[in-house]
Structure 1
Amino acid sequence: MKISNPVLPGFNADPSMIRVGDTYYIANSTFDWWPGVRLHESKDMVHWNLLPSPLNRISQLDMKGNPSGGGVWAPDLSYADGRFWLVYSNVKIVNGAFKDCANYLVTAEDIHGPWSEPIRINGVGFDASLFHDDDGRKYLVQQTWDFREYHHAFNGITLTEFDTATMQLKPETARTIWQGTDVKLVEGPHLYKIDGWYYLFAAEGGTQYEHQESVARSRTLDADSFEGDPHNPFISNFDTPDTYLQKQGHGALVETPGGEWYYASLCGRPWRHDTESSHGVRGWCTLGRETSIQKVEWDEDGWPYVVGGHAGERYVEAPHDAIVTDAPTGHSQHDEFESDVLDPNWNTLRVPFTDAMGHVGGGALTLRGQGSLSNLFELSLIGRRWQAFDFDAETKVTFNPDNYMQMAGLVNFYNHICWSWAFVTWCEDCGRRVIEVAQNDFDGYTSFLKDKAIAIPDDVESVWLRTKVRTKTYTYEYSFDGEAWHEIPVTLDAAVLSDDYVASHYGGFFTGAFVCLAAVDLAGYGKEAVFDYFDYRETEAE
């Protein structure tokens, strides 16, 4: 078998991979999307199944009002003492000098849960991981954030002993064990003990095209005792602009039962406009940061290296002892909303789906209009990841607005400042319902149709809406009977929904594009929209 990268396409960043028995698990960042932490499992590293998210209660994760790109950064999954341990953050600030990061710990005997209530452990820095030493002692390893303007913000990797009797850290034991290389921005640490050496894997260079993973090692856990691998970077695409995978770095190491080694890393797959150079702009990652897996071997001096070179490979040999795993092929989704619980592919922003947003079941999703799509507190929106460069997504909506402040429809969304949608609303000038297309581009809001908004006949009860995403651009269509479709004459640049575009003006550029259903009622009357179904269909296999 071959591992085809990325193994987890679409927004699945900062992988923490472990093995328990014959099963591999990956935990990924979710940032401000709910529920918190995305989990997958596999027995062959090729085929992966989505598991229930461990953070599914507000008592575990309160993100109301969090900025876009805040929330859960780089969770760490580990297994020791007969249970799973999960360390995660809740970051409250993404721009400026501060991060206001709180780190928490939950545990479970079964990966499916239930997961415990959280223990708040510290706020020293983000990307915290828990290391279980072979002598029974445990340590928190983390990036250290320095807000002082006369210091570098990434202030090395801090290690602090964790007391299992009190389930708290011992702050007096905290010490910096590695400052990183001259590339700087050292973060995402994971610590392993192999053949008497402590190996520290850490990301550097930021999470864009300069991203890399570096390795250091030490015989002890003393302060400043780690020395860097003379062959660093361990993995990077900074100097390989033409390779299929880009941005590889932040990730985790795992050993198979048969003694092979693999490394799960975040990665990106940029596309470019025809006028752009791959050695200049590099491109736009609308699918966000995804997860790749590379084969690892060790040199005669005991340093790890990526098979095929530090650029990694698109296709990688699967473990020799892999157990073939049954998993869905592709990521297409059709939802008739029969269940009274949302399909696990759906996500909400910051808070769980509640009665304030609406209800689901019996063949319909009802969304109750709340704030605008830029609202960080009250938002009636459900979304699923873009997981292919080319797909169609459609829905049927029944909505009877009374004024222009009431809107409902189909959304393509990156964050609160970059999104677009085709929606049903009310036109007071023509006295009827209409279809409009609008885009929010760094908070510059544009209505494209205006006085040419598409009038909905009075005898039409429901409207069908569709979006066609074709890598570089996307469009919207409508139908009044579900059979005859009409393209709306607005073509939008997909780059606006990419990490790379958002990063040019905003600090929380860590997620990826979503296609969503939403209802807005700025008048405050909670006008409801009823969605009969949702269909997401990939049109090309990557």
Structure 2
Amino acid sequence: MVIQNPILRGFHPDASIIRVDHDYYIATSTFEWFPGVLIHHSRDLMNWRPLVRPLDRLSQLDLRGVPSSGGIWAPSLSYDNGTYYLCFTNVVGRKGVYKDLHNYVVTAPSITGPWSDPIYLNASGFDHFLYHDTDGRKYVFNMQWDFRKNKRRFAGIVMQEFSLAEGKLIGAIKQVTEGTDLGVTEGPMVYKKDGYYYLLLAEGGTGPMHAATLMRAESIDGPYEVDPDYPIMTTRTSPDHPLQNAGHGSLVQTQLGDWYMVFICSRPLKDGSGLSPLGRETSLQKVVWTQEGWLRLASGGKQPQLLIPETELTPHPWMLEPVRDDFDEPQLSIHWHSLRVPYDESWISLSERSGFMRLRGRESLTSLHNQSLVARRIQSFQCEMTTCVSFEPLSFTQMAGLVLYYDESDHYYLRISHDDELGKHLAIIVSDQGHYEELDVYLPIPVGESIYLKATMDFEQIQFSYSLDSHYWQCIGPALYAGNLADSYAKKLSFTGAFVGLCAQDLRGTRLQADFDFFDYKELD
């Protein structure tokens, strides 16, 4: 048996891993999607299940108005003396040279909570890591952002002591490294082994130049020496490698004594574009320590492997996820997120119509505030996504349907609406770099009847289709390009991945309801 990378497929970036006894947990970034932070659980490092989203209320996290690819950046998990700690950044502004952000830590007695309200840390940069030293003292490490002219934006890694009793950072701030010539130094993770403090860093930026670099010092505040054969891992010189953009590592030691590193990677489309609509994913590599006290990939070289041997841990598979969500439970599945705002009975209900998810239309798909949209990650290049919706619009300002969504600028929307001439009808909206387009396909559909909607993704191509009876399906519109849903499409600097969503808009402000009977997510690969 082998472990196939990525271990967390689809949009799961900035992995932070810990082990507590025989349980392994990975926290990943969620950016503008609510609830904030997703924690996966495993007992064998091969089989993972989504377990909890700790930032699930407004007192912990307010994302209203944050820019796309803002919000939650690079959370870090830690554990000390029966308490779980989670550091996170909320980026509320990222325009121009500035980064308006706020950094916090929350705690919990169990990984499943209850998670506390946040303690404020600082706003000097992002990628915060809380290290618990063996003498009981705690330290926060983060990258320093510098917006000044002729300065390096990524100005190195700083540290400061954290007082849990006082609930704040205390003492002097010290820069511990400026990073290497790879630049873009971020993502600090600290470990202690054999008398050294090891500082694992992400460098080179989260794109093709990404890498993982190791440093060490005899004192926690340095000076840190650089691994003479840095970086540990990168695909920066291997543009054809199946796991591109590899870097931003996090280490864990198993109960058997072996060491592994989880890290960011991206799987590009096969058309040579380099675009990765599934977003930045999480993969796993075994690492070994040299006699000189440095880390190396167990497989040799610096490139991650698509397939690695399974661990010697006892296999622990989880129950397979069902294809269909019937919306029969009192709460939505952990796979669903909303945009920026919590679930609220004012716009979403699972009880008003039994077996349906009811959405009340609110703002448009370009809104940064109050959208009525729930969505889940697309995790495979080959998949079908299907729903059935009951919706009776009275105006062109009222819409509902199935959306493949990257952000407010780039999405594909198969939607039901109303037109003075066509009446109730089905059509496709394309938003390409913010340019609004209605494809010249308008299909009248019967009043008073539900309609089935489907999106099929086959690598580069996305095809919408519809049915009136769930048996006879017809394509609607042309095949659409999946690369438009990638984080680097049109050279934009974004960090999430493609989602499939169910949504409703009512630009009249009357909150007309749309009822969704089910949602199927079926992977075909």
TM-score, length of structure 2 as denominator length: 0.97
Hey, what's the Cα distance between the residues in 2 that align with 1:328 and 1:33? 26
Hey, what's the Cα distance between the residues in 1 that align with 2:270 and 2:459? 9
- Which residue in 2 is equivalent to 1:358? 348
Structure 1 runs (4+) deviating above 3 angstroms are none
- Which residue in 2 is equivalent to 1:439? 430
- Which residue in 1 is equivalent to 2:233? 235
RMSD over equivalenced CA pairs, Å: 1.3
Hey, what's the Cα distance between the residues in 2 that align with 1:149 and 1:400? 55
Match of 1:456 among 438, 441, 445: 445
Hey, what's the Cα distance between the residues in 2 that align with 1:106 and 1:333? 34
Match of 1:325 among 313, 316, 325: 316
Hey, what's the Cα distance between the residues in 2 that align with 1:165 and 1:370? 44
- Which residue in 1 is equivalent to 2:364? 372
**Contact 1:332 1:538 (8 Å CA) reproduced:** no
Alpha-carbon displacement from aligned partner over 1:338-357 (angstroms, at most 9, x marks no partner): 12211111110111111232
Shift, 1:412, TM fit = 0.2
1:25-36 matched pairs, under 5 angstroms: 25-36=25-36
1:60-139 matched pairs, under 5 angstroms: 60-139=60-139
1:131-280 matched pairs, under 5 angstroms: 131-170=131-170, 172-222=171-221, 225-273=223-271, 276=272
Shift, 1:244, TM fit = 1.7
Unaligned runs of 5+ in 1: none
- Which residue in 2 is equivalent to 1:501? 489
1:344-355 matched pairs, under 5 angstroms: 344-355=334-345
Shift, 1:332, TM fit = 5.7
1:341 aligns with 2:326: no
Q: Structure 2: which amino acid aligns with 1:106? A: V
Q: Structure 1: which amino acid aligns with 2:218? A: R
Match of 1:526 among 496, 511, 517: 511
**Contact 2:439 2:477 (8 Å CA) reproduced:** no
Shift, 1:96, TM fit = 1.2
Q: Structure 1: which amino acid aligns with 2:43? A: K
SS in structure 2 opposite 1:189? strand
Match of 1:398 among 381, 386, 390: 390
Hey, what's the Cα distance between the residues in 2 that align with 1:472 and 1:328? 30
Q: Structure 2: which amino acid aligns with 1:146? A: D
TM-score, length of structure 1 as denominator length: 0.94
Hey, what's the Cα distance between the residues in 1 that align with 2:314 and 2:144? 39
SS in structure 1 opposite 2:336? coil
SS in structure 1 opposite 2:484? helix
Hey, what's the Cα distance between the residues in 1 that align with 2:307 and 2:137? 38
Hey, what's the Cα distance between the residues in 1 that align with 2:516 and 2:164? 49
Q: Report how many residues are paired.
A: 522
Shift, 1:50, TM fit = 1.2
- Which residue in 2 is equivalent to 1:287? 278
Shift, 1:310, TM fit = 1.3
Unaligned runs of 5+ in 2: none
Percent identity for Structure 1 against Structure 2:
40
SS in structure 1 opposite 2:495? coil
Q: Structure 1: which amino acid aligns with 2:471? A: E
Q: Structure 1: which amino acid aligns with 2:437? A: T
Hey, what's the Cα distance between the residues in 1 that align with 2:365 and 2:164? 43
Hey, what's the Cα distance between the residues in 2 that align with 1:499 and 1:40? 23
1:473 aligns with 2:461: yes
Q: Structure 1: which amino acid aligns with 2:33? A: W
**Contact 2:29 2:37 (8 Å CA) reproduced:** yes
Match of 1:422 among 414, 423, 427: 414
**Contact 1:48 1:325 (8 Å CA) reproduced:** no
